[in-house]
C-alpha cells in the first residue's frame, strides 16, 4: 500500500513536473506567438499605409497626367499658333525664305521664294538644292551674261559648300536683281533668304548718274572759272598795266585821281576774282598746300609793307610784335600763309578808321619739337556785334549788312582763311567789342626750320650803337631796320651804294655797315672797296643769296668783315652783332671825298623776246620796259617765237600761254627739244591769265622756268629781267630802281 502510495506519489510528482514543464513551454510558445502576431500586425499596418500611399500617389499621378496632357495640348496649340503666325509673317514678307535640311532637301519655303519658279516648275518639299540650281540655270531664269549654265551651276554649288557663305547678287531674265543670303544653321540646316534689290540697284544707278552729272557740272564749272579767269585777266592786264603806266606820267590832280581810281578798282576786281577762284578750289576739295622753309617774320613785314599805303591814307599805325624767343623760319606753305595774313590784316585796315592795327606772334614749343604759334591781329575798328560773331567766318558774310556798305569785299576772305588754317591743322577765333575793335587770331602747329639754340648759353651784350643798311629792296631795308632797332641800334637806310656814299660824304658815322650784294649801278663788293679806300674801318657785312660765289668774288682783299646768307636769320644776326661787339673799334681816318665813278664798261644790250598775240598787252609790255636798257622783240604766236629764238638767240623769253597756231606750252617744248644735246638754255617766263589748280604744274612741266600771272606788274617783269641778265650784257635796269 505504501509502495503503491509511494509509486502513485512519485507518478503524481512526475506528472506535476511534466505539467509545469508543458506550462512553461506553452507560455514560451504564447510569448513567441504574441511577438509574431505583433510583428505581423505591424507589417499589415505598414502594408496598409503603403497601399494607402500608393493609392494616393496613383491618384496624384492620375491628376498630374491629366495636367501634363492639358499642358501638352496647350503647348501644342501655342506652337501651332506660333507656327501659323511665323509663316503668315514669312508669307507677308516680300523677301523669299526657304529652309533645307542637312541633306539639302527643301523643308519649307514661303510663297515669295516659290513664286520665283512659278510658270516653270512646281517645287515641293523634298526637292534638293542642287535640283533648284539646275532648274534656275537650264530654264533661263538667271541672266548668265553669256556664261555656260553648267559653269554657273558649279560656281553656285561650290559657293554653298563653304562654311561662311558670301552673299551673291543674280540678275533675272526679266531684269530684276536678287541678293542671295544663305547661312548654315546649328543643326546643319541651310537657311536661304532672297532679297529683291531691284529698286536699290536702280537707285544706285540713278545716284551714280547724278554723281557723274554733278562731277561733269563741277568740271564744267572749273573750266568755266578757268576760262572766265583768263578772259577777265587778259583785258585787265591792259587796264591795270596802262593805269599803272599812266600814274607815272605828269598829270593834273584830277587826272591822277582818275588814273589811280582805275588802277585800284582793277586791283580790287582781281582780288575778288582770286577770292572766288580760291573758294571754288576749297569747295571742290582741290586746294593743296606746298610746305617749304620760309621766314614768317619777313612774310609778316612784307604784308605790312603792302598794306602801308592804305593805312597811311587813314592815318593808321601798323605795328608788329614778333616774340624775340621764337625762331623766324618755319616749314609751311608761304603763299597760303601770306594769303591768311593779308586777309586778316587787310580786313583790320579796311574796318579801322582810326587808331592802329597790331599783328602779334607768340608761341610755345611742344614735346615733338614743333611750335604752336598764336598769331593775332588786333585793331581799333568798328568791331562786331555778338550776334554776328558766329557767322563771321561763313562765306559771303560781312560784319553788318546795314553799316558795311562803305566797306567793299566779297565776304569770302575769312571763309577762305578758316579753311586754309584748318588744312594746316590749326583753328581760327575772333573776339570783338562793337565800337572798340576786334582781335582775329589763329593757332597753327609749325615745324621750325632753324637750328636749336642753347637756352643757358651766356649772352654777350651788343655794344654797337649806329648801323647803315644799304639795299635796293625796300622790304629788306625795313626788316633789317626793325631787327637792328630791336637790339638797340640806330639805323640809317640807303637804297643804293651811291646814296650810301653820299651819306658818308655828308658826315655820317656808323659802327656797322650792312650792304646787299647784287644792286643796280654798284654792287655791295664795290661799295665795300670804296668805303675801305675812303678810310672806313668799321665792320662791313655783305648780305647775299649765294655766299660761296660772293666769297670767291671777294677774294682775300679784306674789304668785308663777314658774309651772311639771305634772308638773314634773326638769330644769326644777333650772334654776329655779339661777335662784332667783342672787337675793339679801330680809329677812324678822315674820309676823303669819293672819287668820281668810272664810266661803266660798255657791253651789249640784253635781248628780250616777248611772245604775245594781244596787241594791247604788247603795248602794255613795251611801255612797262621802255626805261630798261634792253633790245625787245615781239612774236605774235608760238610759231613766230620759235623762229625768232632760232635766229636771234634772245637772253630771255616772256612766253604767253594762250596764243593761236602754237600756244606757249608747245612753243616751249619745241625750243627745249631744239636745245637738247647742247649747252644752250634760254630762260623762259610764262605769262598766263589762268589761275586754277593744276595750271602751274602743267606750265612748269612744259619746260618753263618761271611764270607770271596777269595782269603783269612792272616790278615782277624787272625782277625777271635782272635775274636773267647775262654777264656780258649791260645792266638792264635804271640805276636805283627797286625790284
- Give me the pLDDT at residue 405, please: 44
Instruction: For residue 561, give every residue at least 6 positions away whose Cβ sits within 8 Å of its Cβ, in sequence order, or none.
Output: 539, 540, 541, 580
H, E, C per residue of 8-23: HHHHHHHHHHHHHHHH
Burial of 205 (0-12, 13-18, 19+ CB in 10 A): exposed
As a whole number, the mean pLDDT across the chain is 82
Q: Give the residue-averaged pLDDT of 438-464.
A: 78
Q: What's the pLDDT tens digit per position in 459-495?
A: 678 888 999 999 887 777 887 888 888 888 999 999 9
Q: Which residues fall within 8 angstroms of residue 504, CB to CB, at 6 or more apart? A: 531, 534, 536, 591, 594
CA distance 561 to 558: 7
Say how far apart CA 67 and CA 32 lie, in whole Å: 51
**Angle of CA points 50, 56, 58, to nearest 5°:** 100
Is the predicted pLDDT of residue 603 greater than 90, yes or no?
no
- The full length of the chain comes to 739
Q: How far apart are CA 640 and CA 649, in angstroms?
A: 13
308-331: average pLDDT = 85
Task: Quick: pLDDT tens for 95-115.
Answer: 888 889 888 898 888 887 887
| DSSP count for the chain of H helices, then E strands | 20, 22
pLDDT, one tens digit per residue, over 155-177 is 888 888 888 888 888 888 777 88
Q: Which of 353, 343, 345, 354 is nearest to 410 (CA)?
A: 343
Q: What is the pLDDT of residue 362?
A: 92
Amino acid at each position: 500500500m505504501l509502495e503503491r502510495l509511494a509509486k502513485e506519489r512519485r507518478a503524481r510528482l512526475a506528472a506535476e513536473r511534466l505539467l509545469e514543464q508543458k506550462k512553461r513551454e506553452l507560455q514560451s510558445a504564447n510569448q513567441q506567438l504574441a511577438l509574431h502576431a505583433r510583428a505581423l500586425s505591424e507589417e499589415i499596418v505598414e502594408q496598409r499605409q503603403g497601399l494607402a500611399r500608393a493609392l494616393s500617389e496613383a491618384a496624384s499621378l492620375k491628376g498630374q497626367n491629366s495636367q501634363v496632357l492639358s499642358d501638352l495640348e496647350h503647348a501644342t496649340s501655342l506652337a501651332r499658333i506660333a507656327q501659323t503666325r511665323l509663316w503668315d509673317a514669312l508669307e507677308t514678307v516680300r523677301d523669299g525664305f526657304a529652309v533645307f535640311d542637312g541633306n539639302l532637301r527643301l523643308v519649307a519655303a514661303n510663297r515669295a521664294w516659290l513664286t520665283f519658279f512659278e510658270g516653270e516648275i512646281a517645287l515641293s518639299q523634298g526637292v534638293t538644292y542642287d535640283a533648284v540650281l539646275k532648274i534656275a540655270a537650264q530654264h533661263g531664269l538667271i541672266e548668265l551674261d553669256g556664261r555656260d549654265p553648267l559653269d554657273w551651276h558649279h560656281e553656285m554649288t561650290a559657293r554653298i559648300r563653304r562654311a561662311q557663305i558670301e552673299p551673291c547678287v543674280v540678275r533675272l531674265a526679266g531684269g530684276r536683281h536678287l541678293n542671295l543670303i544663305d547661312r548654315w544653321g546649328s543643326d546643319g540646316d541651310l537657311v536661304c533668304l532672297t532679297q529683291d534689290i531691284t529698286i536699290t540697284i536702280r537707285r544706285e544707278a540713278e545716284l551714280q548718274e547724278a554723281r557723274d552729272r554733278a562731277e561733269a557740272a563741277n568740271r564744267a564749272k572749273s573750266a568755266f572759272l578757268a576760262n572766265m579767269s583768263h578772259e577777265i585777266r587778259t583785258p585787265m592786264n591792259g587796264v591795270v598795266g596802262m593805269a599803272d603806266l599812266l600814274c607815272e606820267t605828269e598829270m593834273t590832280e584830277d587826272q591822277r585821281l582818275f588814273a589811280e581810281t582805275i588802277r585800284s578798282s582793277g586791283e580790287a576786281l582781281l582780288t575778288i576774282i582770286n577770292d572766288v577762284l580760291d573758294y571754288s578750289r576749297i569747295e571742290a576739295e582741290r586746294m593743296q598746300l606746298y610746305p617749304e622753309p620760309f621766314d614768317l617774320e619777313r612774310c609778316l613785314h612784307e604784308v605790312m609793307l603792302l598794306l602801308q599805303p592804305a593805312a597811311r591814307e587813314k592815318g593808321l599805325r601798323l605795328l608788329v610784335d614778333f616774340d624775340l624767343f621764337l625762331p623766324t623760319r618755319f616749314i609751311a606753305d608761304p603763299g597760303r600763309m601770306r594769303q591768311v595774313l593779308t586777309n586778316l590784316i587787310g580786313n583790320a585796315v579796311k574796318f579801322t578808321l582810326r587808331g592802329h592795327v597790331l599783328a602779334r606772334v607768340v608761341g610755345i614749343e611742344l614735346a615733338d619739337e614743333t611750335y604752336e604759334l598764336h598769331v593775332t591781329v588786333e585793331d581799333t575798328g568798328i568791331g562786331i556785334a555778338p550776334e554776328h560773331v558766329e557767322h563771321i567766318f561763313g562765306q559771303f558774310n560781312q560784319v553788318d549788312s546795314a553799316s558795311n556798305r562803305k566797306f567793299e569785299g566779297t565776304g569770302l576772305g575769312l571763309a577762305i582763311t578758316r579753311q586754309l588754317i584748318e588744312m594746316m591743322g590749326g583753328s581760327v577765333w575772333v573776339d570783338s567789342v562793337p565800337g572798340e575793335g576786334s582781335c582775329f587770331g589763329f593757332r597753327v602747329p609749325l615745324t621750325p626750320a632753324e637750328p636749336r639754340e642753347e637756352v643757358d648759353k651766356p649772352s654777350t651784350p651788343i655794344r654797337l650803337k649806329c648801323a647803315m643798311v644799304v639795299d635796293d629792296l625796300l622790304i629788306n631795308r625795313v626788316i633789317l631796320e626793325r631787327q637792328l632797332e630791336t637790339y638797340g641800334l640806330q639805323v640809317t637806310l640807303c637804297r643804293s651804294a651811291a646814296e650810301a656814299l653820299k651819306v658818308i660824304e655828308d658826315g655820317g658815322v656808323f659802327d656797322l655797315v650792312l650792304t646787299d650784294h647784287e644792286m643796280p649801278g654798284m654792287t655791295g663788293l664795290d661799295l665795300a672797296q670804296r668805303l675801305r679806300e675812303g678810310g672806313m674801318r668799321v665792320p662791313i657785312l655783305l648780305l647775299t643769296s649765294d655766299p660761296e660765289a660772293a666769297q670767291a668774288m671777294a677774294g682775300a682783299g679784306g674789304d668785308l668783315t663777314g658774309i651772311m646768307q639771305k634772308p638773314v636769320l634773326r638769330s644769326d644776326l644777333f650772334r654776329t652783332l655779339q661777335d662784332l661787339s667783342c672787337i675793339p673799334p679801330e680809329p677812324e681816318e678822315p674820309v676823303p671825298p669819293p672819287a668820281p665813278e668810272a664810266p661803266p664798261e660798255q657791253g651789249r644790250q640784253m635781248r628780250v623776246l616777248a611772245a604775245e598775240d594781244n596787241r594791247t598787252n604788247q603795248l602794255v609790255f613795251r611801255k612797262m620796259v621802255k626805261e630798261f636798257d634792253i633790245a625787245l622783240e615781239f612774236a605774235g604766236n608760238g610759231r613766230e617765237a620759235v623762229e625768232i629764238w632760232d635766229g636771234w638767240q634772245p637772253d630771255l623769253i616772256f612766253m604767253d600761254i594762250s596764243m593761236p597756231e602754237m600756244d606757249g606750252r608747245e612753243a616751249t617744248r619745241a625750243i627745249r627739244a631744239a636745245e637738247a644735246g647742247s649747252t644752250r638754255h634760254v630762260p623762259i617766263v610764262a605769262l598766263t591769265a589762268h589761275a586754277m589748280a593744276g595750271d602751274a604744274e602743267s606750265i612748269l612741266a612744259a619746260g618753263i622756268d618761271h611764270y607770271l600771272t596777269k595782269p603783269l606788274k612792272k616790278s615782277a617783269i624787272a625782277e625777271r629781267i635782272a635775274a636773267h641778265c647775262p654777264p656780258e650784257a649791260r645792266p638792264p635796269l635804271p640805276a636805283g630802281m627797286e625790284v
